[in-house]
């Protein structure tokens, strides 16, 4: 980003909250900005920010006729993704961060970051961004303030959070907020760190302008810090979509689902029912595609909110075929990052059937020899209300009640299409043990199983052993917890082709789950859980031979013996922090398979 000055005069702090004033003053003293601007989230403020970035080249206006109010941002080629190896959880004791995190002592982390921040905002405007994660009046929502020198971050935080004056008012009422300090610095990869201080409810990020490293309300606050807050306060902060399934009777059941990357998370959140289901009156409502905060309600059920107000989605692969709802919401009011452009200045990425790129994500004339037109991790940022399947219940202050929690992974063999956990403890094991197979494109090896507990391996802000124990703690007298399921859309046959059609047809599996919730569907009890009988799944209109369906639902006892042994070894890696009930459940299942 070029040095620039926001076209508002620097003004006095619009807050009487002493803790906030003192923190902003101390950051200004350290970073030495040219000016300070407190963001109010208004349309006028956003318009001036956009004009500023257009003038500096940080944004490029896209085709106003086809994509009104849409802009392109190109980041540094060395700054295009999250940097897990430079992301630390800084707790007083290393064991509290756990082997699932990189750890640095708070003292060492603060010293390192203070040295980087010293004078880093000279010639720049320091933006103070108050924001709320979740509906502004929700008791489950939590607030934060991000200080940044990037107007691109401000514009994106306005889309992704409830940012501005209402958030500041709530912060002043509660006198409690997460402190996030960000500077793009000099974008030097050798001077790039993302530090989390759970015990201080603080985040510090330096040297990156990329979303996951710079939009501190997202993974940093909404998962790493929030998971720590949630443990202390009795709720859960999870890497899950939230989707509502409305049946022909007009009843809507809400499902939260956790999948590692490349497992169809956004596609499920915005699922379009098969034609026969649509004809019968089935509807799907999107509450959120990435993060879920949930807590027990007074009736014992778990209620969930989406703490985000927008989507920060991966562009490549998004098309009318894979996710028509996602594509439809990108025609207006969106910020694209690192995509290509066509001759008439429309955004373009691999997976779109129409259009020809003339410029790639770095602004060069498009040449196949230079690689794809859009970076594989190129993104779009857009308000959630743009989604055709958006539901106003996403703004319900109390959240939506969950009927089911789903875990899933990409497994070519062994794992059935769907199974149901027997009880909550078994369900926690299913989530803690979940895994996906890697692909050649990502790792150079195919079929390597990697554990990614609850899809939270990069995002849990504390020791996984303690995290598993926190999950178990929700099973108490009076609790009416969601049923827990596991799915695998990716089982393959001997010919290497997927056995299950996936996409909209996944609603057939969700239908069985919700019938199980209501006690209206059968199942076969197996050592790994309850599995539907072939005729329990609605396969009307599917060209799915009976033998293939039997293969999708088969349980390979010998294979599962090896799987349970591997799960036991994984749990052992967390030592004495592994909850005894979880270890006992693993041993019980292993014994039942022998």
Q: What is the pLDDT of residues 202-247, one digit of tens each?
A: 999 999 999 889 999 999 999 999 999 999 999 999 999 999 999 9
Alpha carbon distances (Å) from 594 to 227, 350, 413: 37, 48, 20
Give me the pLDDT at residue 445, please: 59
Given a cut of 80, is residue 2 above it in pLDDT? Answer: no
- The reply, when asked if residue 210 is annotated as ligand binding, is yes
- Give residue-wise pLDDT tens across range 143-163: 999 999 999 999 999 999 999
- The reply, when asked if residue 290 is annotated as ligand binding, is yes
Dihedral through CA 227, CA 229, CA 235, CA 239, nearest 10?
-20
**CA-based nearest residue to 148, from 176, 174, 168, 120:** 120
Q: Is 546 exposed, middle or buried (0-12, 13-18, 19+ CB in 10 A)?
A: exposed
Widest pairwise Cα distance in the chain: 73
Give me the pLDDT at residue 82, please: 83
- Give residue-wise pLDDT tens across range 235-256: 999 999 999 999 999 999 999 9
Three-class SS of residue 591? helix
Give me the pLDDT at residue 447, please: 66
CATH (one of 3.90.228.20, 3.10.20.30, 3.40.50.720, 3.30.379.10) for 238-309+392-593: 3.90.228.20
Least confidently predicted of 55-64, 125-134, 432-441 = 432-441
- The reply, when asked if residue 252 is annotated as ligand binding, is no
Give me the pLDDT at residue 6, please: 59
Topology of domain 311-386, per CATH?
A: Phosphoenolpyruvate Carboxykinase; domain 2 (2.170.8)
- The reply, when asked if residue 63 is annotated as ligand binding, is no
- Give residue-wise pLDDT tens across range 412-437: 999 999 999 999 999 999 999 999 98
CA distance 45 to 57: 18
- The reply, when asked if residue 292 is annotated as ligand binding, is no
Strand order in the sheet with 340-342: 347-348, 340-342, 357-359
Q: Any idea where the domains of the chain sit in the sequence?
A: 18-59+80-233, 238-309+392-593, 311-386
CA distance 70 to 50: 10
- Give residue-wise pLDDT tens across range 81-103: 888 899 999 999 999 999 999 99
Q: Which helix (H) or strand (E) covers residue 359, if one does? A: strand 357-359
- Give residue-wise pLDDT tens across range 31-48: 999 999 999 999 999 999
pTM: 0.96
**CA-based nearest residue to 465, from 296, 258, 231:** 231
Tokens of 64: 């106003």
Given a cut of 80, is residue 439 above it in pLDDT? Answer: no
- The reply, when asked if residue 82 is annotated as ligand binding, is yes
Decide if 87 contacts 73 (C-beta within 8 A): no
To the question of domain 18-59+80-233 being in CATH 3.40.449.10, the answer is yes
- Give residue-wise pLDDT tens across range 393-413: 999 999 999 999 999 999 999
**CA-based nearest residue to 100, from 83, 87, 115, 118:** 87
- The reply, when asked if residue 427 is annotated as ligand binding, is no
CA distance 156 to 77: 20
Q: Which amino acids are annotated catalytic?
A: 263
Give me the pLDDT at residue 466, please: 98
Tokens of 504: 């909209």
Alpha carbon distances (Å) from 294 to 161, 327, 406, 457: 18, 28, 14, 19
- The reply, when asked if residue 51 is annotated as ligand binding, is no
Name the DSSP class of 482. Answer: P
Q: Residues with Cβ < 8 Å from 74, sequence gap 6 or more?
A: 60, 337, 338, 361, 362, 363
């Amino acid at each position: 980003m070029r040095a620039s000055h926001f076209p508002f005069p620097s003004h006095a702090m619009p807050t009487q909250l002493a803790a906030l004033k003192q923190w902003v003053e101390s950051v200004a003293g350290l970073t030495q900005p040219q000016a300070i601007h407190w963001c109010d989230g208004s349309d006028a403020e956003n318009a001036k920010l956009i004009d500023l970035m257009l003038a500096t080249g940080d944004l490029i206006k896209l085709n106003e006729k086809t994509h009104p109010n849409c802009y392109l941002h190109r980041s540094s080629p060395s700054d295009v993704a999250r940097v897990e190896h430079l992301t630390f959880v800084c707790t007083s004791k290393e064991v509290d961060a756990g082997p699932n995190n990189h750890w640095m002592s708070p003292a060492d982390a603060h010293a390192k970051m203070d040295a980087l921040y010293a004078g880093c905002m000279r010639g720049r405007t320091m933006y103070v961004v108050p924001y709320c994660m979740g509906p502004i009046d929700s008791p489950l929502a939590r607030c934060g303030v991000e200080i940044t020198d990037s107007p691109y971050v401000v514009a994106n935080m306005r889309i992704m959070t409830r940012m501005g004056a209402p958030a500041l008012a709530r912060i002043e009422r509660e006198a409690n907020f997460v402190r996030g300090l960000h500077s793009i610095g000099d974008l030097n990869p050798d001077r790039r760190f993302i530090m989390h201080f759970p015990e201080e409810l603080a985040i510090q990020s330096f040297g990156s302008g990329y979303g996951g490293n710079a939009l501190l309300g997202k993974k940093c606050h909404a998962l790493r810090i929030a998971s720590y807050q949630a443990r202390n306060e009795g709720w859960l902060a999870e890497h899950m979509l939230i989707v509502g399934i409305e049946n022909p009777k007009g009843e809507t059941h809400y499902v939260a689902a956790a999948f590692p990357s490349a497992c169809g998370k956004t596609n499920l959140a915005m699922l379009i029912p098969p034609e026969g289901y649509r004809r019968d009156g089935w509807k799907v409502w999107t509450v959120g595609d990435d993060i879920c905060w949930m807590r027990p309600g007074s009736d014992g059920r778990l209620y969930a909110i989406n703490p985000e107000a927008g989507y920060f989605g991966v562009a490549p692969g998004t098309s009318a075929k894979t996710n028509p709802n996602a594509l439809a919401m990108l025609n207006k009011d969106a910020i694209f990052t690192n995509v290509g452009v066509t001759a008439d200045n429309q955004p373009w990425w691999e997976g779109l059937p129409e259009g020809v790129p003339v410029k790639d994500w770095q602004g060069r004339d498009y040449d196949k020899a230079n690689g794809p037109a859009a970076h594989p991790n190129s993104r779009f940022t857009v308000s959630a209300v743009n989604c055709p399947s958006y539901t106003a219940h996403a703004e319900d202050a109390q959240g939506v009640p969950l009927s089911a929690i789903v875990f899933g992974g990409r497994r070519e063999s062994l794992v059935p299409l769907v199974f149901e956990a027997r009880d909550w403890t078994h369900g926690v094991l299913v989530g803690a043990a979940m895994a996906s197979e890697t692909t050649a494109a990502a790792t150079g090896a195919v079929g390597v199983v990697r554990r990614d507990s609850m899809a939270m391996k990069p995002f849990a802000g504390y020791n996984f052993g303690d995290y598993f124990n926190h999950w178990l703690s929700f099973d108490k007298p009076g609790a009416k917890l969601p049923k827990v399921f596991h799915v695998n859309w990716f089982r393959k046959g001997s010919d290497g082709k997927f056995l299950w059609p996936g996409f909209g047809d996944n609603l057939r599996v969700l239908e069985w789950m919700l019938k199980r919730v209501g006690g209206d569907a059968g199942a076969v009890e197996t050592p790994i859980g309850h599995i539907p009988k072939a005729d329990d799944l609605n396969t009307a209109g599917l060209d799915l031979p009976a033998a293939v369906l039997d293969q999708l639902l088969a349980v390979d006892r010998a294979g599962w013996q090896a799987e349970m042994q591997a799960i036991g070894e994984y749990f052992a890696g967390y030592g004495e922090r592994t909850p005894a009930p979880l270890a006992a459940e693993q041993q019980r299942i292993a014994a039942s398979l022998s």
